[in-house]
Amino acid sequence: MKVLIFDLIGKFGHFRKYYSNSSALSFGIPPRTTLCGLIAAILGWERDSYYDHMRMDCCKIGLACKAPIRKTIHKLNYLYIKSKNDLNASYGLPTQVPFELVSAPRFGHQNLRYRLYFSHTDLEIFNKLRHFLINQENVYTLSLGSANFHATYEWIGEAEATCQNDSATAEVNITSAIPRDRIDDFLFERNLEKVFVNELLPLDFNNQRELVGLKEMIYCEQGQSLFLKVKTPFYSIEIPPIGLREDFVFME
């Protein structure tokens, strides 16, 4: 299986939890649905036009957290705007709303960095995305969740992913976020001082923008790999050009 590999980079992110109401809580990593929208932005697909192209049965996306993350709560002042005359807050006092922000632990010295592994059964879509990534092009502006948290990407390369399914389970260093039900044993003694995060992430939409898939995903908050006993299959790649091996699973 051919896989495109590239890193999303930004200073801030906010991936709103679907069940939060007045308090804008955030996932620590972008859900698969967010990544689908981001890839659609690179390719220039209009909003709500790409759900059939990004279904899990034809589009495979894996995600690895490659830098430490930190969540902090901030208060934002929201104005009630009904006309341009309300922009000076004459309609009433601003409403303070808690807002959860994802950033690097050392702001100003580090960036968020998420690595994507992308494969698609449609070679036309696969080759088009590869062309955009190699040439550092995108049609729409990219963001890490909220529109004002602008993002860039770094092309890593294209590699052949080898499916590892020789046995029912295997002990392996998993670099990507992994579904909770794919873990047979956490092997905590091999992951000392690592912070495990478990979040219930949305995976897929239908054409009516209705959520059709949820999955508990495990990842490391410090941006490190996790040594786990996992249920096969998983995938192995050699990262170009140095040939460093990474083992990962897709978000499905």
Q: How many domains does the chain have?
A: 1
65 near 220, Cβ under 8 Å? yes
**For the segment 60-82, what is each residue's pLDDT rounded down to a tens digit?**
999 999 999 999 999 888 877 77
Single-letter amino acid code for the residue at 224: Q
What is the pLDDT averaged over residues 128-132?
97
pLDDT at 104 > cutoff 70:
yes
76 near 129, Cβ under 8 Å? no
Give how far Cα 252 sits from Cα of 49, 60, 90, 181, 213, Å.
21, 8, 49, 11, 9
160 near 1, Cβ under 8 Å? yes
Which is nearest to 18 in space by CA: 8, 33, 6, 4? 33
pTM metric for this prediction: 0.92
Residue 90: the pLDDT is 64
Boundaries of domain holding 19: 2-248
Residue 92: the pLDDT is 67
The CATH number of the domain where 166 resides is what? 3.30.70.2660
- pLDDT class for 155, splitting at 50, 70, 90? very high
What are the φ and ψ backbone dihedral angles of 25, each rounded to 5 degrees? -85, 155
Single-letter amino acid code for the residue at 119: S
Q: Which of 76-80, 167-171, 181-185, 218-222 has the lowest mean pLDDT?
A: 76-80
d(CA 76, CA 121): 43
Q: Which of 3-17, 22-36, 92-106, 113-127 has the lowest mean pLDDT?
A: 92-106
Residue 79: the pLDDT is 78
Query: Residue 231 has which token pair?
Result: 């249920």
